[in-house]
Amino acid sequence: MRKVFYLTLTLLLLLGNLIFAQTKSIVPQPKTMTRAEGHWVLEPGTIIQAATADARKSAAIFNELLEAKAGFQLTIQHQASAEGPVIHLDEAQVGEQEEAYTLSVKDKGVYIKGAGKGLFYGLQSLIQLLEIRGPEVMLPQVEIADAPAFGYRGIMLDVSRHYFSSQQIMKVLDLMSQLKFNTMHWHLTDDQGWRLEIKKYPKLTAIGARRDSTIIGQYYDFQPFIYDGEPHGGYYSQEEARSIVQYAADRKITIIPEIELPGHSSAVLAAYPELGSFDVNKNEGKGTIAALNDKGEPLDNDISSQVPGYWGVHYNIYGPTNQAYQFLEDVLTEVMDIFPGEYIHIGGDEVPKDHWETSALAQKVIKKEKLADEHELQSFFIRRIEQFLNENGRKLIGWDEILEGGLAPNATVMSWRGEKGGIAAAKMGHDVIMTPNSHLYFDHYQSEDKSTEPLAIGGFLPLEKVYAYNPIPADLTAEEGKHVLGVQANLWTEYLATNNKMEYHLFPRALALAEVAWKSREEKDYQSFIHERLPFRLLDLEEKGVFFRIPEADVQISKDAESGRHKVAIKPLVAGARVYYTLDGHKADQTGLLYAGPFLTPIPGAEQKPLTLRYVTVTPGGRSSNEFQVPLE
């Protein structure tokens, strides 16, 4: 009897600890959250009371998430009856911020208050608090008051280098909305593929959306290059794009479409070569418009007839001609009709200006318009497009190269080559989104040891570095800092051809980014993030079928005073995960020793090398991490 009592007590304590830990696990961490005693049990008979159409839409999305987690949905009603448990949704703005919300779980019911977005975010926090214990679905009693630090919280998806299905885009939108991101920047066009149906220019998708073959590996892997011999393509019909826009809007996400100009346009020019910088009727430009490999050798001398299957910046770009402007205005007219958000992204990055140096068409415009050089020509081109967008009630946003040659009067700048461009633009009084390649390029490697990682473009961007990013540079005054609207991670997909790889590069770094975007620098705390929140959110991602990268465990090595041996303590960063390890220098996998608590390591002899801890983390779902190594020095 005593045994049963102690067993029950231990179980209850364990359960209590887990629930308490889980209570703190909302990502992004709310501004304030206090935990009260007790729980509230969510039952299939619970009512969600939602008086407005928008609140009911958010409640329906909550219901879908609840069904996936708990196997049932709640009834949504305009009015709740006096009897029975109720989640009350009160659509009314909390304080000054449109995205703020309050959430309280009391013994009498759940109350969430916020304007449209705030209410949605309150429901997202609520679902993250859910605890499933056998047949019981519980919510801890809490009081939350929450609001974001930044109004722009984004992720950019490149679907040009590799096409991803609408279903996959929607999966990412779902996950983004659960982390309270509010913007998806959709990189729809680039040298390697045009991905949006444009009714007036059918060749954009008939020709521009498909390439015959794609280079394999990194540029330095094979000389000469090896191509896969497989056609790659795909595009979103306008109907599909509209559904995605609506799907995002229901989840409080705005989509910013990007139509690249004047560079990164060789997929367009494969379809409509007459829009380029050379007179194709006179057969001009051939042989002069080659992209170069890393040795400076031409890759292809006739790129006007097909969509290229290799990466890098391509030389074939729009000409500054009335024909090209007309085309772009026609395209943007259709784009604006599909995407109702205020921003249209026009790219503007990495324009090979030397291409225009060799173009008679471009030189003629420079002379006629009395422009100093090709930089000013780019500025002239972009100002023209900005005027068109502004006349149509939209705002232009572009990469930081749009500063070169003079910034268009109302442009917003996306700072990607570090923070310099963002700082300059903010000082000029322009709005800025920070997305520096030093901290927020999610195509970069997640380990310094590239041999343990799947192929990526390069770089090294660990979770901690993402978390450490502060969007407002120290060089800005408080007033200038207000122009920093927020942050965005960029996911370029040259080396990301599959859904799993897309998810591997997004997660867990998107969880860190969610806190960078939601919390002020003073409120962020990496240790609490990795220990109190990350493990539960990763478990949740596993249940949702997301192929996240399983992070390195927190490994603490100390000296045991008594024995002089190393003491090793390992905390995996996925809740409920196991760790298997070796100390004998050989590969660790699930045949290794199961970690059961801190241990002392053997001491090598005086002339011997230190030992290495090798380990893998295995999730409750059975996925193994890469093998990690830690020298025991």
Which residue among 131, 350, 523, 589 is the active-site one?
350
**CB neighbour list of residue 211: distance below 8 Å, 6 or more residues apart:** 192, 193, 231, 232, 233, 306, 307, 308, 309
Tell me the C-alpha distance between 349 and 258, whole Å: 12
**Cα gap 92→68, rounded to integer Å:** 28
Shortest Å, Cβ 237 to ligand ACM: 27
User: What's the closest the beta carbon of residue 263 comes to ligand ACM, in angstroms?
Assistant: 9
Q: Least CB distance from residue 186 to ligand ACM, whole Å?
A: 14
Catalytic residue, from 90, 99, 158, 190: name it: 190
Q: Residue 262 or 535: which CB sits closer to ligand ACM?
A: 262
98 has catalytic annotation: no
Tokens encoding 420: 């310099």
Which of 437, 498 has the CB closer to ligand ACM?
437
Which residues within the stretch 354-373 sit at the binding site for ligand ACM (CB under 6 A)?
none
CB of 195 to ligand ACM, least distance (A): 17
Residue 104 · residue 164 · CB < 8 Å: no
Nearest in space to 536 (alpha carbons), one of 15, 16, 22, 20: 22
Active-site residue 350, yes or no?
yes
Based on the residue annotation, tell me whether 584 is a catalytic residue of this protein: no
Instruction: Quote the tokens at residue 215.
Output: 């280079």
- CA–chain centroid gap for 538, Å, is 16
Give 39: exposed, middle or buried? Use CB within 10 Å, 0-12, 13-18, 19+. Answer: middle
Nearer Cβ to ligand ACM, position 405 or 535?
405
Q: Which is nearer to ligand ACM, 404 or 552 (CB)?
A: 404
Tokens 């473009």, residue located:
457
Q: For the CB of residue 156, give the shortest distance to ligand ACM in the complex, in Å.
A: 9
Other CB atoms within 10 Å distance of the CB of residue 483: 20
Residue 138, H or E segment: strand 136-146
Residue pair 422/484 in contact by the 8 Å Cβ criterion: yes
To ligand ACM, the closest distance from the beta carbon of 88 in angstroms equals 45
Mark out the alpha helices in 83-202 (DSSP H runs).
116-129, 166-178
> Is 468 exposed, middle or buried (CB count within 10 Å of its CB: 0-12, 13-18, 19+)?
middle
In three-state secondary structure terms, 20 is helix
CA distance 123 to 113: 10
| Binding status of residue 350 toward ligand ACM by CB under 6 A | yes
Residue with tokens 């790219």: 347
Whether 352 contacts 263, CB under 8 Å: yes
Catalytic choice (162, 185, 232, 264):
264
Tell me which DSSP letter residue 188 carries. Answer: -
Minimum CB separation of residue 349 from ligand ACM in Å reads 4
Closest contact distance (angstroms) between CB of 158 and ligand ACM is: 9
Residues 94, 102 contacting (CB under 8 angstroms): yes
Binding track over 389-408 against ligand ACM, x by CB under 6 A:
----------x---------
Judged by beta carbon, residue 345 or residue 566, the one nearer ligand ACM is 345
Token pair recorded at residue 76: 């949504």
> Which is nearer to ligand ACM, 306 or 415 (by Cβ)?
415
Query: Min. distance of Cβ 472 from ligand ACM in angstroms?
Result: 21
Q: Which of 120, 416, 518, 581 binds ligand ACM (CB under 6 A)?
A: 416
Between 35 and 417, CB nearer to ligand ACM: 417
Task: Name the residue nearer to ligand ACM (CB basis): 235 or 399.
Answer: 399
Q: If binding means CB under 6 A, how many residues of this protein chain bind ligand ACM? A: 4
Closer residue to ligand ACM in complex, CB, 89/346:
346
Q: Is the peptide bond before 30 cis (omega within 30 degrees of 0)?
A: no
Q: How far apart are CA 229 and CA 6, in angstroms?
A: 66
Rule CB under 6 A: say whether 349 interacts with ligand ACM. yes
* Beta carbon nearer to ligand ACM, 131 or 349: 349
CB nearer to ligand ACM: give 120 or 399. Answer: 399
What's the closest the beta carbon of residue 286 comes to ligand ACM, in angstroms? 26
Contact between 507 and ligand ACM by CB under 6 A: the answer reads no
| C-alpha dist (Å) from residue 309 to 285, 328, 610 | 20, 24, 47
Q: What 3-state class would DSSP assign to 222?
A: coil
**Residue 318 binds ligand ACM (CB under 6 A):** no
CB neighbour list of residue 274: distance below 8 Å, 6 or more residues apart: 280, 281, 323
34: which strand partners? 143
Number of Cβ within 10 Å of residue 604's Cβ equals 11
Residue 343, token pair as written in the block: 């921003």
CB of 416 to ligand ACM, least distance (A): 4
What is the three-state SS of 262-314? CCCCHHHHHHCHHHECCCHHHCCCCCCCCCECCCCCECCCCCCCCCCCCCCCC
In 431-451, which positions are buried (b, 16+ CB within 10 angstroms) versus exposed (e)? bbbbbbbebbbbbbbbbeeee
442 binds ligand ACM (CB under 6 A): no
| Catalytic positions | 190, 264, 350
Residues that bind ligand ACM (CB under 6 A): 349-350, 399, 416
